Amino acid sequence: MSANETAPWGPSETNWALAARCWTDRGAEIHACVKGWDEVPAELAAVERAGCTVHRRWEKPPHDLRPIHELPWSERQSSTLDKVRPDLVVISQGDNYEGLGWMEECRTRGLPYVAYSNSAADFEWPADDVAQRLAVAYRAARAAVFVSEANRELTQRQIGTDLPNARVVRCHFKVDYAAAPPWPATAEPLRLACPARLDPISKGQDVLFEVLARPKWRERPLTVSLFGTGSHAWVLRGLRDRLGLRGVEFAGWTTDVEAIWREHHGLVLCSRAEGLPTVIVEAMLCGRPAVVSDVAGNAELIEDGVTGFVAAAPVAACLDDALERAWQRRDEWQEIGRRAARAVRRQVPPDPIALLVDQLEELAARPRHS
């Protein structure tokens, strides 16, 4: 069950889609329920080609004006759960609350379920009535799955209860596990990449721009390339032009992630809300240091000053401090990147999706009363 209702596809969809294809290859009968859109994303088409049955729910105003955490109107009219009667339901959430209605429907029907959360934000706290429902729903799940330790802890704080059934899994990544792109041939300008959805609410590009507009950064040989698309492309381009940031380019979307790191010395990411970004894993696998905000799982793989640099918060003063520390050690970046590459391989497995499916298979095999 994909709780995503805002776009035909999003980053949080990829993990369940890959897991569905993997589990289908192992012989399971997999169904997927998604919101219907006129556009058919390539990733969803690949799920169908793999043999998964996709159920689309069609919502029209005013039915789609419900609170995002409530069950979609179409499901209240004709339930996919009743049609399929699955042995296990995996509820994929882009955040940590939008799947509440699905959890409650599973409980009503006595269907075992897993609540899978891809992100959490410390500025989005549910009201008491919703938090109480989430606490019950999460604790009733066979597992409450999070992509970072920080997301797990934040969710427990936000719903006011411990989750003994919680576990943390790692996400997919889009580079070869043995990736080792060569270090960029030229040392100057120092080139940073920011591969992230163009969405300052979550990704904090405005904070990055505020720092780069400071006199010392304007004077230094430094460029930043923003890779990605999103709902705030126009306003971010306008902000760049308004601040006169000649060293900032919008590089568009690319599927060749390793190519980014052949041309860039490091990653910069000043997120306000996250799970555990795959772009950090990918940069580290490719031997590049990262400068990140200490939000959600951003800093869980990075040892500050050893394998990267961590800003204490997604605010300009903190990011400026982390970037300054990184700048003063720029001659060490290649060695820091080598340490990052070794460190991430100790923490992230070669095939995290296969390990996720292993866990889901174990959860599905439990008796219904467990």
The domains located in the chain, with CATH, are: 13-170+350-365 (3.40.50.2000), 190-347 (3.40.50.2000)
- DSSP lists the bridge partners of residue 308 as 290, 304
- Which residue positions in the chain have pLDDT lower than 50? none
- The rounded distance, in Å, linking the Cα atoms of 196 and 20 is 25
What pTM was estimated for this model as a whole?
A: 0.94
- List phi, psi (to 5°) of 326: -65, -45
Consecutive H or E run containing 152: helix 149-159
pLDDT score recorded for residue 369: 63
pLDDT score recorded for residue 66: 84
pLDDT score recorded for residue 6: 87
CA 326 to the chain's CA centroid:
25
Residue with tokens 């889901």: 360
Of the CA atoms within 13 Å of residue 49, those in its CB half-sphere come to 8
DSSP 277-310: -HHHHHHHHTT--EEEESSTTTTTS--BTTTEEE
